[in-house]
């Protein structure tokens, strides 16, 4: 069977293909009839679905994270594509290619090399020794390279964690050039470790929270990983330990964003603001990438940000550099 990608689905089309079942919820209509609210993904995007007949039976046969064979019609609901599912079953692993199901960041080896270059540029002997403890941990670094940056909002693909980390390190480096009052080594290493807890928080294949991630969250997990690594460095300064721990604990910036503490050093403030900037910009880029249907001006409603995003490009508007004049 030829794989049909989500990005290519057209309204009124009949589909028989394989997708990852990201979420399923058994609900009731206003007439108390059960139905399944579904969400599917592949490497090209995401689409919602509904299964109206025999919902309880199908609910027992598949789980979130499974690759499933889906037979459906592509409908239109509130101006968006949606799958009206007639049949769904867990797929035989021999029937699909895993690389078609999940998106993977390109050039992961190149990105990791850039991360290592930043760590190798550190001059503080204790931070450099601490960085070596991280990079010598092959299991941790493999999980770091394969990790996802988030479940759905930003960098939500294999390699996304490392890609996001590098982007934060890059901008933090620029900020330290503008603000020499900040200790560059502390800020750069803080950028490297700020999301390290995500290696255990999210399962990159299922794109779901692990039990540990659901119970503790990546901030607490990252704090633990850092503490374990610091214990391996002889005579590590107490004041420096506190500064690095503070960066992890404060990098969400606000209590409302589940940050245990607020940023209270210049290095922690730079990491927090950079993390916020990079994650938001990546999320909007992904919205533009996945929703650039012909003629579409606004994105789907983004509940986490309480808005739609304007997604027409400068090229579409005719004023971008290199574009045709007078269009």
pLDDT of the residue at 14:
95
Q: Which two tokens stand for residue 241?
A: 């330990």
Same domain, 21 and 71: yes
Measured distance CA(107)–CA(111) in Å, rounded: 6
Residues in the chain: 327
Residue 126, domain member (yes or no): yes
pLDDT of the residue at 293:
65
Beta-bridge mates of residue 41: 20, 46
Same domain, 139 and 77: no
pLDDT, tens only, 291-316: 766 568 888 888 888 899 998 888 88
Contact between 79 and 48 under an 8 Å Cβ cutoff? The reply is no
Torsion of CA 215, 213, 42, 295, to 10 degrees: 80
CATH of the domain at 48: 2.40.50.140
Residue 315, domain member (yes or no): no
pLDDT, tens only, 170-218: 999 999 999 999 999 999 999 999 999 999 999 887 778 999 999 999 9
- Domain hosting 89: range is 6-100
pTM value is 0.82
Same domain, 66 and 114: no
Q: What is the DSSP string of 130-193?
A: HHHHHHT-HHHHHHHHH--S-SSSSS-SBTHHHHHHHHHHHHHHHHHHH-TTS-HHHHHHHHHH
Domain total for the chain?
2
Residue 82, domain member (yes or no): yes
Same domain, 133 and 273: yes
H/E stretch holding 280 = helix 266-290
Contact between 230 and 173 under an 8 Å Cβ cutoff? The reply is no
Positive/negative CA dihedral, 61, 65, 66, 72: positive
Q: Is the pLDDT of residue 91 over 90?
A: yes
Q: Work out the average pLDDT over 126-143.
A: 98
CB burial readout 57-80, b (16+ within 10 A) else e: ebbeebeeebbbbbebebeeeeee
Same domain, 216 and 172: yes
pLDDT, tens only, 261-284: 999 999 999 999 999 999 999 888
Q: Is the pLDDT of residue 229 over 90?
A: yes
């Amino acid at each position: 069977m030829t794989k049909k990608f989500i990005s290519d689905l057209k309204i009124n089309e009949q589909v028989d293909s394989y997708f990852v079942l990201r979420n399923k919820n058994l609900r009731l209509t206003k007439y108390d009839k059960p139905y399944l609210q579904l969400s599917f993904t592949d490497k090209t995007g995401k689409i919602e679905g509904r299964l109206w007949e025999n919902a309880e039976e199908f609910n027992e046969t598949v789980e979130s994270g499974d690759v499933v064979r889906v037979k459906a019609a592509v409908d239109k609901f509130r101006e968006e594509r949606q799958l009206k599912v007639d049949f769904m079953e867990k797929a035989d692993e021999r029937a699909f290619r895993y690389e078609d199901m999940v998106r993977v960041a390109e050039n992961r080896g190149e990105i990791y090399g850039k991360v290592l270059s930043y760590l190798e540029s550190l001059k503080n002997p204790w931070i450099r020794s601490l960085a070596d403890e991280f990079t010598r941990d092959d299991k941790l670094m493999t999980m770091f390279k394969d990790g996802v940056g988030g479940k759905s909002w930003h960098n939500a693909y294999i390699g996304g964690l490392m890609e996001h980390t590098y982007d934060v390190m890059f901008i933090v480096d620029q900020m330290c050039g503008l603000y020499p009052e900040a200790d560059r080594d502390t800020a750069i290493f803080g950028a490297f470790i700020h999301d390290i807890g995500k290696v255990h928080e999210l399962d990159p294949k299922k794109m779901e929270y692990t039990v540990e991630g659901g119970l503790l969250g990546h901030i607490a997990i990252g704090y633990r990983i850092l503490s374990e690594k610091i214990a391996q460095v002889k005579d590590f300064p107490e004041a420096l330990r506190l500064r690095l721990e503070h960066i992890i604990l404060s990098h969400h910036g606000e209590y409302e964003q589940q940050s245990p503490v607020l940023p209270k050093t210049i290095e922690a403030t730079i990491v927090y603001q950079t993390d916020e900037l990079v994650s938001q910009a990546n999320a909007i880029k992904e919205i533009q990438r996945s929703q650039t249907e012909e003629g579409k001006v606004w994105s789907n409603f983004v509940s986490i940000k309480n808005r739609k995003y304007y997604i027409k490009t400068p090229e579409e508007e005719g004023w971008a550099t290199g574009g045709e004049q007078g269009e």
